[in-house]
Amino acid sequence: MNKAKMIFNQTLMISTGILFGVGVQTMLQYFSYGKSSFQWQWYIPLSIILAGFLCALATLFLTDDDVSGKSVGYIRTGLHFVAVLAIVSLCGYLFEWYTSLDEYIPIVIMYVVIYAFVWISTTWIMKSDEKKINKAIDDIRDEE
């Protein structure tokens, strides 16, 4: 997959993730305070796409898969987690997704939940692929 396509796909996925977060937050607000509507400024959807794009760039540079070593992988994942949180926080501050600490904390919690969900589901999919690939390789492997 070329880099432009990867950035495009990542931008779409991350933007969708943020919109999902907004949806969940709206639902929680309804059940907590009975607030049944949610309004935002005209530029908020654009700011979400911009945040998605910046996070996609961080993903591209910090998860380059040509590096080897498990410890390097963990360090890069940690750096990626922090970098994407920083981007989301900065975009949130600049575009006023939050205006106080009380509004910021739910965003951080949502971010951690979505990051963990994506990480676990990716690992689960890869493990499933591992089994399928090993089964297919068993059928064609040369005798040694």
Partner 1 sequence: MKVELKQADSYDDEGAVIKAVSVTDDIRNAIDILKNNGFSIPAILDNTTVMIKAGSIYYIESVDKRTYVYTKDGCFETKYRLYELEDILGINFFRCSKAMIVNIRKIRAVKAEMNARLNAELLNGERLIISRGYVKELKRKLGV
Where along the sequence are the contacts to partner 1 (CB under 8 A)? 1, 6, 63, 65-66, 68, 70, 73-74, 76-77, 122-123, 126-127, 129-130, 132-134, 136-137, 140-142, 144
Tell me, letter by letter, the H, E, C secondary structure of the chain: CCHHHHHHHHHHHHHHHHHHHHHHHHHHHHHHHCCCCCCCCCCHHHHHHHHHHHHHHHHHHHCCCCCCCHHHHHHHHHHHHHHHHHHHHHHHHHCCCCCCHHHHHHHHHHHHHHHHHHHHHHHHHHHHHHHHHHHHHHHHCCCC
**Nearest residue (CB) to partner 1, 32 versus 132:** 132
* Beta carbon nearer to partner 1, 2 or 32: 2
Q: Which residue's CB is nearer to partner 1, number 34 or number 69? A: 69
CB of 126 to partner 1, least distance (A): 4
Supply the minimum distance, in Å, between the C-beta of residue 12 and partner 1. Answer: 17
Shortest Å distance, C-beta 30 to partner 1: 36
